[in-house]
Chain A
């Protein structure tokens, strides 16, 4: 198979973003995404040759599948998983449809309430204040799980990864057990 490199105009930014461990999102990184749509198989085989497994999820996100997680991303992933899971639980309690998570507006108010409701669980993960909560979301923003705009966060399609996991682990009862499982499965 031959790859037409002249067509792969976004190779560099794509590789840079993906190899940094960040997620690409259809609506945030529209241009890169369109490239990926157009030349998905080319990019897949090119990155595969470089030792990366490109996953393009039709729900609007893409990432490199990695086996190993650094201590940092491991911790972040664990904490983020907890935050996201509790967020979903909280929103579900509010009667919101989980699959419309892209429309949620996570403002300071919501984060406060979330923290108040689950502070025992959060503190067990050394998330000691809504501020730490926001810091975790900031970090997640940098790797393409969220977008920050108008003094609020929004979840990006890549959050589906967590959501898939939660659905899969739907039978587990205790949240911290889920947490452990997530740690093993995510990265």
Chain B
């Protein structure tokens, strides 16, 4: 009972909650006894004003706080008083109504609770305004405390108190910082609210807070921090690995660049000198070529002239030769023509003979030519012949012609007319049977003549449709006589003889003339022959000389041809020489132009070519000689090399920035791009070592992260240990009929395993055990590890950090005898009412006890309304457990609970409740009394 020395002694109500006065012992378990609706609950609820303090947390069941204030503090002389024995001595904490609006205030003082201090001589209670003075009179140094200050006072928060204040700590906590939690649990425990595992978890975490390294782990940032380097290195490694082929190409380029630089360094001065010498070389060479060409031109002209002369000579010789040959062939012809002529005289004689014949013929011809023409004579002969025939016919018909007949039968007038109409020959025609004219009917002819005459008038003949003027016609009135006719016929015959002989003469003349002409022709031919013969004679004289001339000419021609062919050869070779020189000239000019252009295109006047010696390079070992004719080629090659170097520079820069863009940034700290490249190449060459280095870093990063996780895991272990202790604490005595009643942490398996995975990886790394294993299976690619990491990151992000509380949940594990434990999250559903009531109370008290400073234990009180729901065994257990946790239990029930030490009935007089010390009944075990 030594523990019970310190703690609550009694509760006193004065003029409050329907009590005129109530004195309740609190130094041991109490059973308040009264019928329903008397004031049991009211009495124990009064403790709330002193223990819970905060109005908001107080709970008066159906009654509101406002009504309760009215109920507990009806006026300014209503009191709730608590006497406590503290290590510093007895103390009183009180709450007094202020009257106005049923408010109240707290006060406290050291000293024991003497009810007379509150009662005046007249039996009335001291009013609130006079209370402090009154207590002072009674020797009690009381003080008014605002609610917050009182709380600080009760929970021993010395910081909030003045040094001269008395120590009135009722709830000595191990950590005053837990006061708020303590109070909340206390409130809950007094009210026996619904209690679920989450709340218990929350409180226990608060309670064990100081044992746990309860930091909020921002896992992602921890991971990122530890792996920042590793990730960077890995990203560099990956980027380089990705670009290996590009980099090896760059390495080749760099090699080429070093070679090119060496080459350019070697050639630069040589090119410089070559360009200086070039002007002289160009001038002298081109002058030389010009002179040579000039000479060749002159030679060519001379040859041309000579050629023309030969040409002329040949033409002349040919003409001459032709002429001589013509003469010769003519001479040969003449020889053949006159081969049968002995001399000229022969020809002349022949000719003179012919001339004589011709002259005779000429004379006969002249005679004949004086006569008529042959044709005219022939015409005259024909005419005269006809005349002779006509005359003969007239002679035959002279006695019986038409004229005579007509003269006989026709009147004169008609006769004359008809003769005019008919021609003489018609009139001369004989009239006879079977002759030309037949006159067979004279009368008919008479009448016709008469008719005809009738148509005649004054020389005009009028026929139907025809008018004929007869005056113009001569009448054929005359008919010759036979004699006349015979004479005329003789004349005709004579004329005809003459004319025929003449005709004969004229005819022979033509023949003679033809003969003459023949002669003339023969004569002229002979004359020509004579002339030709003379020519032959003349030609015969120069025949020999002529043949010699011909031969000479032919020889000359042969010589000329030979000379000509030699000349052609010479001309050809000169032409060749000219062409060659000209092409040399052209070549020189083109070199001149090329060099000019190349000179302008030179790049080596600017950086980097001006400082190649300072840049890294490989010395060039080529043997060098610069001949002027190769200068153009050389300088062009040189320019090309410069160009190439420039391109490589650009290309390498491009590739380098391409690598930068692709994330290769490791080497950018180097001073120059070239050093950057070298570093890059070295790095690439050592890729596998780099990978190992990254792996090593990754391992140490895991170790780093694991250290933080280890805190979490250790906290979890600590918590679990604390929970085991806690469970031991609440299981010291059996709770109801429960074989098992535990509050157990259940780990969040996946999270804990993830943490464990990281930690054990780290442990393996630290012990170096699985070094070989890692070499094959790199840790950065470790699937399980990454998954563990992802789980923790996800969880951490969703909850804004990882804490130990995220690693487990609590369950109530409950089992009766012969049952396997069942787990519950909500204890209200776990068992029967009484059992649940008990479980809650014990859990609450155990938690409160956990927070108390066991060195300064002060017994306080808790209450169980409607205590009858617990059987006696449980009541007894409960009282003992509460006792162990430092609490006195107050039961309230209509019937006395004999498990309690005190039984306190409530008396009622004149409607006022009343409990006096004197009515306390103390129950003691016989065994106790024995002691």
Which A residues fall within an 8 A CB radius of B? Answer: 26-27, 30-31, 33-34, 57-60, 100, 102-103, 150
Do A103 and B753 have beta carbons less than 8 Å apart?
Answer: yes
Do B791 and A27 have beta carbons less than 8 Å apart?
Answer: yes
How far apart are B828's CB and chain A's nearest CB, in angstroms? 14
B809 contacts across to A, CB distance below 8 A: 58-59
B749 contacts across to A, CB distance below 8 A: 100, 102-103
Query: With an 8 A cutoff between CB atoms, is B57 at the interface?
Result: no
- In the complex, A100→B752 CA distance in Å? 13
Query: With an 8 A cutoff between CB atoms, is B748 at the interface?
Result: yes
A27 contacts across to B, CB distance below 8 A: 748, 750-751, 791, 795
Which B residues fall within an 8 A CB radius of A? Answer: 197-198, 746, 748-751, 753, 783, 791, 794-795, 797-799, 809, 811, 825
- In the complex, A150→B811 CA distance in Å? 33
Do A60 and B197 have beta carbons less than 8 Å apart?
Answer: no
Do B197 and A58 have beta carbons less than 8 Å apart?
Answer: yes
Contact of A30 among B198, B746, B783, B794 (CB under 8 A): B794
Do A26 and B753 have beta carbons less than 8 Å apart?
Answer: no
A26 contacts across to B, CB distance below 8 A: 748
A-B contacts besides A27-B751, A27-B791, A103-B749, 20 pairs, CB < 8 Å: A26-B748, A27-B748, A27-B795, A30-B794, A30-B795, A30-B797, A30-B798, A30-B799, A31-B798, A34-B798, A58-B197, A58-B746, A58-B811, A58-B825, A59-B746, A59-B809, A60-B748, A100-B749, A103-B753, A150-B783
Do B825 and A34 have beta carbons less than 8 Å apart?
Answer: no
The residue in B748, B751, B798, B811 that gathers the most chain A C-beta atoms within 10 A of its C-beta is B798
- In the complex, A27→B753 CA distance in Å? 13
Residue on B with the closest CB to A31?
B798
Selected A-B contacts with CB under 8 Å, 8 pairs: A27-B751, A30-B799, A34-B799, A57-B825, A58-B197, A102-B749, A102-B750, A150-B783
- In the complex, A133→B829 CA distance in Å? 38
- In the complex, A134→B696 CA distance in Å? 41
Top 6 nearest A-B pairs (CB, nearest first) are A30-B798, A31-B798, A58-B825, A34-B798, A58-B809, A27-B750
- In the complex, A58→B824 CA distance in Å? 9
A150 contacts across to B, CB distance below 8 A: 783
B799 contacts across to A, CB distance below 8 A: 30, 34
- In the complex, A33→B751 CA distance in Å? 14
Residue on B with the closest CB to A154?
B750
How far apart are A166's CB and chain B's nearest CB, in angstroms? 14
A57 contacts across to B, CB distance below 8 A: 825
B783 contacts across to A, CB distance below 8 A: 150
- In the complex, A60→B748 CA distance in Å? 9
Residue on A with the closest CB to B795?
A30
- In the complex, A34→B806 CA distance in Å? 10
A103 contacts across to B, CB distance below 8 A: 749, 753
The residue in A26, A31, A58 that gathers the most chain B C-beta atoms within 10 A of its C-beta is A58
B746 contacts across to A, CB distance below 8 A: 58-59
Residue on B with the closest CB to A34?
B798
How far apart are A119's CB and chain B's nearest CB, in angstroms? 32
- In the complex, A102→B746 CA distance in Å? 14
- In the complex, A182→B275 CA distance in Å? 104
- In the complex, A31→B791 CA distance in Å? 12
A34 contacts across to B, CB distance below 8 A: 798-799
B798 contacts across to A, CB distance below 8 A: 30-31, 33-34
A30 contacts across to B, CB distance below 8 A: 794-795, 797-799
B751 contacts across to A, CB distance below 8 A: 27
Residue on B with the closest CB to A26?
B748
How far apart are A10's CB and chain B's nearest CB, in angstroms? 10
A102 contacts across to B, CB distance below 8 A: 749-750
B795 contacts across to A, CB distance below 8 A: 27, 30
How far apart are B549's CB and chain A's nearest CB, in angstroms? 126
- In the complex, A103→B788 CA distance in Å? 13
Residue on A with the closest CB to B751?
A27
B197 contacts across to A, CB distance below 8 A: 58
The residue in A27, A33, A60, A102 that gathers the most chain B C-beta atoms within 10 A of its C-beta is A27
- In the complex, A30→B789 CA distance in Å? 15
- In the complex, A121→B795 CA distance in Å? 40
A100 contacts across to B, CB distance below 8 A: 749
- In the complex, A100→B749 CA distance in Å? 8
How far apart are A91's CB and chain B's nearest CB, in angstroms? 16
How far apart are A77's CB and chain B's nearest CB, in angstroms? 24
- In the complex, A82→B797 CA distance in Å? 37
- In the complex, A65→B753 CA distance in Å? 31
Residue on A with the closest CB to B791?
A27
- In the complex, A103→B748 CA distance in Å? 12
- In the complex, A27→B747 CA distance in Å? 13
How far apart are B815's CB and chain A's nearest CB, in angstroms? 14
B753 contacts across to A, CB distance below 8 A: 103
How far apart are A159's CB and chain B's nearest CB, in angstroms? 13
The residue in B749, B753, B797, B811 that gathers the most chain A C-beta atoms within 10 A of its C-beta is B749
- In the complex, A27→B751 CA distance in Å? 9
- In the complex, A100→B750 CA distance in Å? 10
- In the complex, A143→B313 CA distance in Å? 127
A33 contacts across to B, CB distance below 8 A: 798
How far apart are B393's CB and chain A's nearest CB, in angstroms? 162
Residue on A with the closest CB to B810?
A58
How far apart are A184's CB and chain B's nearest CB, in angstroms? 22
How far apart are A153's CB and chain B's nearest CB, in angstroms? 15
Residue on A with the closest CB to B201?
A58
